[in-house]
Amino acid sequence: MTLDEASKTPYTIDTEPFYLDTDNEIRMFEAAAAARLPVMLKGPTGCGKTRFIEHMAFRLKRPLITVACHEDLFASDLIGRYLLKDDETVWVDGPLTRAVRMGAICYLDEVVEARKDTTVVVHPLTDNRRTLSIDKKGEVIQAHPDFLMVISYNPGYQSVLKDLKQSTRQRFVSLSFDYPEPEDESRIVAIEGKVDHDTAARLVGLAGKIRHIREHGLTEGASTRLLIYAASLIRQGIPFKGACTAALCQPLTDDDRLQETLNDLIDDLI
Amino acid sequence: MTLDEASKTPYTIDTEPFYLDTDNEIRMFEAAAAARLPVMLKGPTGCGKTRFIEHMAFRLKRPLITVACHEDLFASDLIGRYLLKDDETVWVDGPLTRAVRMGAICYLDEVVEARKDTTVVVHPLTDNRRTLSIDKKGEVIQAHPDFLMVISYNPGYQSVLKDLKQSTRQRFVSLSFDYPEPEDESRIVAIEGKVDHDTAARLVGLAGKIRHIREHGLTEGASTRLLIYAASLIRQGIPFKGACTAALCQPLTDDDRLQETLNDLIDDLI
Amino acid sequence: MTLDEASKTPYTIDTEPFYLDTDNEIRMFEAAAAARLPVMLKGPTGCGKTRFIEHMAFRLKRPLITVACHEDLFASDLIGRYLLKDDETVWVDGPLTRAVRMGAICYLDEVVEARKDTTVVVHPLTDNRRTLSIDKKGEVIQAHPDFLMVISYNPGYQSVLKDLKQSTRQRFVSLSFDYPEPEDESRIVAIEGKVDHDTAARLVGLAGKIRHIREHGLTEGASTRLLIYAASLIRQGIPFKGACTAALCQPLTDDDRLQETLNDLIDDLI
Amino acid sequence: MTLDEASKTPYTIDTEPFYLDTDNEIRMFEAAAAARLPVMLKGPTGCGKTRFIEHMAFRLKRPLITVACHEDLFASDLIGRYLLKDDETVWVDGPLTRAVRMGAICYLDEVVEARKDTTVVVHPLTDNRRTLSIDKKGEVIQAHPDFLMVISYNPGYQSVLKDLKQSTRQRFVSLSFDYPEPEDESRIVAIEGKVDHDTAARLVGLAGKIRHIREHGLTEGASTRLLIYAASLIRQGIPFKGACTAALCQPLTDDDRLQETLNDLIDDLI
Amino acid sequence: MTLDEASKTPYTIDTEPFYLDTDNEIRMFEAAAAARLPVMLKGPTGCGKTRFIEHMAFRLKRPLITVACHEDLFASDLIGRYLLKDDETVWVDGPLTRAVRMGAICYLDEVVEARKDTTVVVHPLTDNRRTLSIDKKGEVIQAHPDFLMVISYNPGYQSVLKDLKQSTRQRFVSLSFDYPEPEDESRIVAIEGKVDHDTAARLVGLAGKIRHIREHGLTEGASTRLLIYAASLIRQGIPFKGACTAALCQPLTDDDRLQETLNDLIDDLI
Amino acid sequence: MTLDEASKTPYTIDTEPFYLDTDNEIRMFEAAAAARLPVMLKGPTGCGKTRFIEHMAFRLKRPLITVACHEDLFASDLIGRYLLKDDETVWVDGPLTRAVRMGAICYLDEVVEARKDTTVVVHPLTDNRRTLSIDKKGEVIQAHPDFLMVISYNPGYQSVLKDLKQSTRQRFVSLSFDYPEPEDESRIVAIEGKVDHDTAARLVGLAGKIRHIREHGLTEGASTRLLIYAASLIRQGIPFKGACTAALCQPLTDDDRLQETLNDLIDDLI
């Protein structure tokens, strides 16, 4: 796929991603989008934030541009750069600039991980100005009316060094996410992992117990994604216990005592 | 918008931003501007510092150039750079240089966040010299008579590492800001959030209570901006409680106990 | 070997690397590969993780591209770079990009050591997108169906600073490794070190004792690789004790008291 | 103003800056200049060090080149750089090089803030060599006989990390500065702030009290500059108390209790 | 000497460096070289590690390429770089690449001091792959059969931050070094320092005493090199005591009390 | 002075720098130079190390190239760089390379301050190899027979972070310096400061007392340079006490109590 093709289509989501509304968050997101308010999605790993934003992009029929933030991501990675191409200097828009121009949803995943100079870019896009300043081109872009800034944030991770400043936080309507209800999650695991409902329900039951012991030492519970992994292994012929060990227990922790506890939980199920 | 257009008009504020004078700060700012004294705006997030400076720019009929400072902002980001354009090296003024030349108000938002080499730029512009030295061009610019340096500063944020040196602080007349009075704030929320006065007053009442518990764990109270967000969601059909949760409570904190306290405050209101 | 040749063949493993299945990990890996699930290999130094992945690459008949991660490894080292070649700018794919295009197994050894911007590359390759974005070329590559991401991770090393985030961990099916069983290990040492089975067994017996005292001050036990080194020295005519000192004791620790303990263990064997 | 003009005139001070000798420092500076000894000015913020050096530059009829040092100031910022100009590489002297060539006073304000590679430049200019080495041009410049190196230094600021090494300190004759005597300071404030002597004296009286409580929590007292700011605001029609709050109290501290103390001091005066 | 000449000859050691085998280390090294096992030399400063490797290079008739590692040494310093030469971009092999191609011994002196990205280079050269990957050229080099990787390591220096990871350590056969026996060391000092055997023996006797008090505060004892320095000074006509002070005592420590102790040791000898 | 001229003459010292031998250090240095042993000069600030090396350069009729080291000095600053000159890339030797080629004394002042990559350059120049490797040119230079490496080092400064490694220290013959004897120092001060012997003796007497109280809080005593400064001020007509305050007391410390003690010492003298 070349750049030109990429700037036209690839951000459109063509098939409806499966998502089950749990706390009216679809309605709330639609309201925020209608009022052009930036949105922050809060919640633990793998509880469905990414899936939700894909679902909303499909629903609102807007392209979605996702950027996974990390501590070496600078503002220029978001905005764009001059590149040499066949002896010519060509400006290439970064993902944020593309979103601003085309009226996409720009989803900055785990935004606190990024370099702090991203703040200077986010602020004027999240107040009544709705502008993006490309200093290197001396250009100020007025955001497309459909442009929507969405960030995600995992409260469990934050330390003193990596925290959203109040002056940034207070620019976003915030939706809080948690794992889906058992019945909903079973449906998701059955569909995505291509297993029967019974197996899915057993996996979700196990996940519930694992999430319950979270306070006893696990930093996070098992994500829905891991349940789907376990289901996929089972579908490949791996026995239930082995699949759970490889896809649920081992990824969660390196602590031997916690592994034992997790194994006990599995054994209780068989 | 191209660079040339940008250097002429976009910094002018055409419609009067709504601002209510509370402590004679409009008069004080006019006096400082008349005496060409640099000004520092102190106060918490979202209490109206940005709105105030926009209001003053409109009132004084001067362009306003705003720079959101951050820890990767260097002096050269303020002053300008040589850029390659169609095989030619072209100098592009940074935001501060543009302000100095055109006689704009240059507003450095949260200036302590910026790199320390910005100091060398700010100092000769804030004493009787009023000059900006562009080392890369070997040029020294005498500031336009209307040029005015304004910085903002949030005392609640400051740590030992990020503090304004006395030799910088003592170059600014300082105006202290706080949240507007309830009656004033209700008017602002009603106008900007496009809700009836009653709803606005309820939101402001809630904000007052939230700001009151600030000492009990919240680092900052709810800003006026968040109240306007809540009002906007209500206008989109979201019920009062849901709007307050998404726009006021969730953005302020990740602490579960504090969320409960905040929810109780809302329930008391309904 | 030039670049062109390299991109075709050198990653193929032609002769079957010797590997003994201990905990059904071969079957589990095949299932994960069939379901296109990313895999994490956990375990101590030199217990056979690298050998296992080579064995699986042979078995699955897929090329294997290995990257030893370290704290100065950036995402661009994985993705690729523009290089000047005979006055022309030529794009050279990095190891990950090559793997993604050709459908190889990409093995990131000790991935937590790498710079955090590698995360942004790993994430979209390990969820349902399976894409690699080459920002510098404005190109988004859909991974070859045979592409498989595998990472290794040594739980004994991890500190607070160097840990896999849960949002990364929970993207991998995890297989836990430990040293092989004595009988298996003896066979490996005899074959690879080209010594008789008796000598190999004595070395493995010594290793067992060394690994046993691990809790008493050694950070890691002797790896199978070191046993093969000792065997090789013996084969070169070095006496048993000297070979063990040079290949087992001295590499493990600089602590004089621990060296004495290790020497006592050897003396017990002779 | 272009570079060429700049290298001729702009550093000359044409009108005598007002300065009142307090401890024979004018005579001492003249002696040091005559003996070509480097000079260090020690003292708190805003006590008149900059004014003194401007006065001396006028008196000695030498150009004055001032550099405000900061933690991102490198030696190359002082010495100069090659720049591209109309496709040609042109060397542009830095401020120190210009001073060395033209026989100016080079004033490095708050020199400890600068990067340590500035030391290598300062040393050979402050001993019997009096040379500046421009490595990038392979040029060694013998300083003009009138060149004089002057640095300033605020002892109150220094920490272990930011201290002048003895091998640097012991290269400078040192003059210690403090706030002017009340009568002198009143004269300065009246002249520079354009207010009557009575108002000036009241401001100076207040400053005296503020400086007195310095030990009780203020890191520095109010500078003469701030008194002039207050006077300027008063001249613009701002009442005495308001002017003192904005120009004296708020700039000095963010501590609420200290603000109250400062307010009490003002109330006592009215 | 130009580059081309350098890549042919200068690494060959033509005259046999004097070395006395003490613990069968010559035999052990030959065995490791024959089995193509990487070697680590452990021991204090100046005990003869460098001399040993020079001796072995002579003995095995292989070129020796030495790199003194330091904390700013990156992998690219070892591998090579593209350089501009007469308007052409020319690749210049780094020292490691030269060794890998020509089948030299590559000696990385004090390897823990180097940047961690050197690990990625060392690993595939020290396992059964024996390959060096030059990413910038997209080239993978199979090491010459005579290539031998040797590293040195001073256990006395190591801190938590600068330690060899077990996954690196366990790739090397390790030989432990200490100062030579008195009789051997006297012979070395007499030959290299060009003094009579009696003077050499007195110096070695002194060194023995100095090394004995090492536990009482000296971080390291006097190296053989320093003994040769003292001998050289004596040969130049400097009296014994003066030569010992300048070449043995002063280099070892700055502690006044330790200097006195060292002086007493010298006085005892005269 | 252009580069070409510079590489011929400017490092030659034409007039004999005044130096009084105190501990036979001249003879010792001559012996080390004759035996081609590297030399380290240890001692406090301003005790005459630089003067000594200038004297020895004159005496041995060798050019002297001095580099003041600092924490941003990299190996490339010592070795040299490719520079653009009139569209051509020209290699410019750094100061060390010039010294190595021309057989000069290279004096690295306060070498521990420099970046650690300088070590890699110093080591092969200070053992029997006597080579300098210019990686960027692929050139290895054999040092001129007259080349002599000299470093200085102030033991009073050293911290854990900035210490010479034993593997570096043990490569240098070390000469320890202290302030000259009173009679000698008086002669120096009289000659260099151009005052009568009586005044010089009084200054030296004062310095003796100041150095005596060093243990009571001063980090270093007054250097001979400062005594010459004081003498110069006196010669310009400044009274004794004022000259001592400005040239001796103020440069030494910012501590008020220590200043009083120093003033008392002066008053005792008058």
Chains that touch B (3 or more CB pairs under 8 A): A, D
**Residue in D72, D223, D250 closest to B115 by CB:** D72
pLDDT digits over E217-228, tens only?
677 788 999 999
Pick from C143, C135, C142: nearest CA to C81: C135
What tokens does E235 get? 């040969």
Three-state SS at F258: helix
Pick from F244, F207, F259, F247: nearest CA to F44: F207
Of chain F, the end-to-end C-alpha distance in Å amounts to 48
Range of lowest pLDDT (A77-86, B45-54, B173-182, D114-123)? A77-86
Please tell me whether residues E195 and E141 are part of one structural domain. Answer: no
Among E166, E168, E172, E177, pick the best mutation site for testing chain C contact (most C Cβ within 10 A): E166
- Please state the rounded mean pLDDT for residues E140-161: 81
pLDDT at D11 over 60: yes
Residue A237: strand pairing partners: none
- Please state the rounded mean pLDDT for residues B74-81: 85
Chain E: residue nearest C82 by CA?
E136
Are B209 and B223 spatial neighbours (Cβ–Cβ below 8 Å)?
no
pLDDT digits over C197-242, tens only?
999 999 999 999 998 876 566 777 889 999 999 999 999 999 999 9
- State residue C160's pLDDT score: 46
Helices (H), chain F: 3-8, 25-34, 49-59, 75-79, 95-102, 119-125, 166-169, 182-193, 197-212, 224-235, 240-244, 250-252, 256-269
- Please state the rounded mean pLDDT for residues B135-150: 88
Cβ separation of C69 and E32 shorter than 8 Å? no
Which of D157, D176, D195 represents a domain boundary (last residue)? Answer: D176
Look up residue C88 and give its DSSP letter.
Answer: E
Please tell me whether residues D54 and D151 are part of one structural domain. Answer: yes
- CA–CA dist D141, D143 (Å, integer): 6
Strands (E), D172-263: 173-176
**Residue in D24, D42, D119 closest to F250 by CB:** D42
- CA–CA dist D54, E264 (Å, integer): 60
Range of lowest pLDDT (A142-156, B17-31, B228-242, C78-92)? C78-92
Contacts of B24 (CB under 8 A, 6+ apart): D242
Which of F176, F207, F222 represents a domain boundary (last residue)? Answer: F176
DSSP structure string for E35-49? TT--EEEE--TTSSH
**Residue in F123, F140, F176 closest to E250 by CB:** F176
pLDDT digits over D135-159, tens only?
777 688 999 999 999 999 887 655 4
B172 phi, psi to nearest 5 deg? -130, 135
- State residue D1's pLDDT score: 38
Among D100, D174, D175, D215, pick the best mutation site for testing chain F contact (most F Cβ within 10 A): D174
- State residue B84's pLDDT score: 60
**Residue in C46, C77, C235 closest to E170 by CB:** C46
Chains that touch C (3 or more CB pairs under 8 A): A, E
Which residues of A are less than 8 Å from C123 in CB distance?
A: 68, 109
| A and E touch per CB criterion (3+ pairs under 8 A) | no
Cβ separation of A170 and B237 shorter than 8 Å? no
Please tell me whether residues E154 and E201 are part of one structural domain. Answer: no
- Please state the rounded mean pLDDT for residues E260-267: 90
Interface residues on D facing F, Cβ-Cβ cutoff 8 A: 24, 27-28, 30-32, 34-35, 37, 40, 42, 74-75, 82, 89, 115-117, 119-120, 123-124, 127, 135-142, 155, 158, 165-167, 169-176
Which of D176, D208, D238 represents a domain boundary (last residue)? Answer: D176
The length of chain F is: 270
**Residue in B73, B157, B223 closest to A120 by CB:** B73
The ipTM estimated for the assembled molecules is 0.81
- Please state the rounded mean pLDDT for residues F167-173: 89
Largest CA distance in chain E: 66
Please tell me whether residues B37 and B168 are part of one structural domain. Answer: yes
Range of lowest pLDDT (A230-234, D2-6, D79-83, E81-85)? D2-6
pLDDT digits over E45-92, tens only?
777 888 899 999 999 999 999 888 877 778 888 998 776 665 566 788
Please tell me whether residues C150 and C189 are part of one structural domain. Answer: no
pLDDT digits over F25-50, tens only?
999 999 999 999 999 999 887 788 88
Chain C: residue nearest E134 by CA?
C3
Among B244, B254, B263, pick the best mutation site for testing chain A contact (most A Cβ within 10 A): B254
Chain D: residue nearest B143 by CA?
D1
**Residue in E40, E89, E119 closest to C70 by CB:** E119
What tokens does F141 get? 């230079």
F125 phi, psi to nearest 5 deg? -85, -10
- State residue E237's pLDDT score: 93
**Residue in D1, D50, D220 closest to B140 by CB:** D1
pLDDT at E232 over 80: yes
Range of lowest pLDDT (B192-196, C171-175, D78-82, D182-186)? D78-82
Interface residues on C facing A, Cβ-Cβ cutoff 8 A: 24, 27-28, 30-32, 34-35, 37, 40, 42, 74-75, 82, 89, 115-117, 119-120, 123-124, 127, 135-142, 155, 158, 165-167, 169-176
- State residue A191's pLDDT score: 92
Cβ separation of E113 and F115 shorter than 8 Å? no
Look up residue A171 and give its DSSP letter.
Answer: T
- State residue B149's pLDDT score: 97
Look up residue F146 and give its DSSP letter.
Answer: T
- State residue D214's pLDDT score: 63
- State residue F4's pLDDT score: 41
Pick from E183, E196, E203, E214: nearest CA to E243: E203
| D and B touch per CB criterion (3+ pairs under 8 A) | yes
Residue E156's pLDDT band, with cuts at 50, 70 and 90, is low
pLDDT digits over A90-127, tens only?
788 889 999 999 999 999 988 887 877 787 788 889 98
> How much of chain E, in percent, has pLDDT values that exceed 70?
89
Chain E: residue nearest F114 by CA?
E72
From A92's Cα to the closest Cα of chain C, the distance in A is: 7
Please tell me whether residues A105 and A164 are part of one structural domain. Answer: yes
Please tell me whether residues C84 and C197 are part of one structural domain. Answer: no
CATH of the domain at D118: 3.40.50.300
Residue C243 amino acid letter: A
Tally the domains of chain B. 2
From F158's Cα to the closest Cα of chain D, the distance in A is: 12
pLDDT at A133 over 60: yes
Please tell me whether residues D141 and D172 are part of one structural domain. Answer: yes
Which residues of A are less than 8 Å from C71 in CB distance?
A: none
- CA–CA dist F14, C53 (Å, integer): 71
F83 phi, psi to nearest 5 deg? -125, 155
Are E41 and C254 spatial neighbours (Cβ–Cβ below 8 Å)?
no
Cβ separation of C236 and E116 shorter than 8 Å? no
- Please state the rounded mean pLDDT for residues A156-173: 72
- Supply the pTM of this predicted model: 0.68
Cβ separation of D1 and B82 shorter than 8 Å? no
pLDDT at B1 over 50: no
Cβ separation of D94 and B176 shorter than 8 Å? no
- Please state the rounded mean pLDDT for residues E180-208: 93
pLDDT digits over E111-130, tens only?
887 877 787 788 889 987 89
Chains that touch F (3 or more CB pairs under 8 A): D, E
pLDDT digits over E6-19, tens only?
344 468 888 888 78
Please tell me whether residues A170 and A201 are part of one structural domain. Answer: no
- CA–CA dist D152, D98 (Å, integer): 19
- State residue D53's pLDDT score: 95
pLDDT at D182 over 80: yes
Which residues of E are less than 8 Å from F28 in CB distance?
A: 233, 238, 242, 246
> How much of chain A, in percent, has pLDDT values that exceed 70?
88
Place of tokens 């406090």: F44
Pick from A256, A161, A265, A159: nearest CA to A217: A256
Chains that touch E (3 or more CB pairs under 8 A): C, F
Pick from D35, D31, D39, D110: nearest CA to D70: D110
What is the overall mean pLDDT for chain D? 85
Cβ separation of C158 and A254 shorter than 8 Å? yes
pLDDT digits over B109-123, tens only?
888 878 777 877 888
Please tell me whether residues E149 and E27 are part of one structural domain. Answer: yes
Are F6 and D137 spatial neighbours (Cβ–Cβ below 8 Å)?
no
Cβ separation of E174 and C71 shorter than 8 Å? no
Pick from C20, C71, C44: nearest CA to C252: C44
Q: Which domain, by its residues, includes A139?
A: 3-176
pLDDT digits over D91-148, tens only?
888 899 999 999 999 999 888 878 777 877 888 899 878 989 887 776 889 999 999 9
Cβ separation of D46 and B170 shorter than 8 Å? yes
- What is the number of CB-based contacts under 8 A between chain A and chain C? 112
Please tell me whether residues A51 and A161 are part of one structural domain. Answer: yes
Three-state SS at A149: strand
Are D151 and D116 spatial neighbours (Cβ–Cβ below 8 Å)?
no
- State residue A123's pLDDT score: 86
B84 vs D151, residue with greater confidence: D151
Place of tokens 């599995």: A266
From F46's Cα to the closest Cα of chain E, the distance in A is: 18
How would you label C128-141 residue by residue, b for 16+ Cβ within 10 Å and e otherwise?
Answer: ebbebbbbebbbbb
Residue F217's pLDDT band, with cuts at 50, 70 and 90, is low
Which residues of F are less than 8 Å from E71 in CB distance?
A: 116-117
Three-state SS at E52: helix
**Residue in E119, E135, E174 closest to C251 by CB:** E174
Please tell me whether residues F171 and F203 are part of one structural domain. Answer: no
From C236's Cα to the closest Cα of chain E, the distance in A is: 6
pLDDT at B56 over 90: yes
Give every residue of chain C whose pLDDT is below 50, as ranges.
1-9, 159-161
Pick from D154, A135, D88: nearest CA to B65: A135
Contacts of B156 (CB under 8 A, 6+ apart): B44, B219, B220
